[in-house]
Amino acid sequence: MRIVSGTFKGRRLASFKGMDIRPTSDKVREAIFNILPREFTFKKVLDLFAGTGAMGLEALSRGALDATFVDSGAEAISLIRKNMESCGAEARVFKSSVQASLKQFARKGEKFDLIIIDPPYSSTLLSEALEAIDRDNLLEAGGVIVAETTKRAPLKADFMGLEVFDERKYGDTAVYFLKQKAAGEPGNV
């Protein structure tokens, strides 16, 4: 696994042993960043269920000014820090549940331009995270959410203030791109 593009291009990233954790492949990561709207500039990135930190580090490599990584696993936090050091990157790292971190960001009034969500495929954590992000208005105006899940459990929930504007499939992986609904659309004021 390596950084695909930008200032850290080619840097190798440490990963998990075994198949318990499934980091986003280089090919899918590259496709995701190529799909983001060309006019989109992300300053503040939030990488939830960060695992190795590859997605957030890819965003930093491509010009993001700030990244925040959240994962509840000690091994993941260790890998994120190791990969940050390997890239010479600085970022905030939280060893916490995603729900607790989202509540903390909401209390502080923080917003993010790019939010990456890649929870375990066999959970309801994706829907829960999207509901919290929508409810607490954590997405900056014009921001994008990239949500990854298995194509066998497609994203079905209706989030009042968010809409899917693109969807792609790569093998077993489904990637959804969401944004805020425009003012005046149902679910948005």
27 assigned to some structural domain: no
29 assigned to some structural domain: no
State the CATH number of the domain containing residue 78: 3.40.50.150
pTM of the model: 0.90
Specify the pLDDT at position 21.
59
23 assigned to some structural domain: no
The per-residue pLDDT for range 1-21, each reduced to its tens digit, is 888 888 899 888 888 775 555
Specify the pLDDT at position 183.
63
Rounded CA-CA distance 71/42 in Å is: 21
**Residue 138: which domain range?**
50-180
Q: Across the 189 residues of the chain, what is the mean pLDDT of every consecutive 10-residue run?
A: 87 75 75 78 92 93 94 94 95 96 97 94 86 94 92 75 90 90 58
Identify whether the C-beta of residue 119 lies closer than 8 Å to the C-beta of residue 126.
yes
- In the chain, the number of structural domains is 1
91 assigned to some structural domain: yes
Instruction: Give alpha helix (H) positions in 24-153.
Output: 26-35, 54-61, 74-87, 98-107, 125-135
13 assigned to some structural domain: no
18 assigned to some structural domain: no
Specify the pLDDT at position 10.
86
153 assigned to some structural domain: yes
Specify the pLDDT at position 121.
78
The per-residue pLDDT for range 55-70, each reduced to its tens digit, is 999 999 988 999 999 9
* CA distance between the termini of the chain: 43
Specify the pLDDT at position 161.
86
Specify the pLDDT at position 189.
41
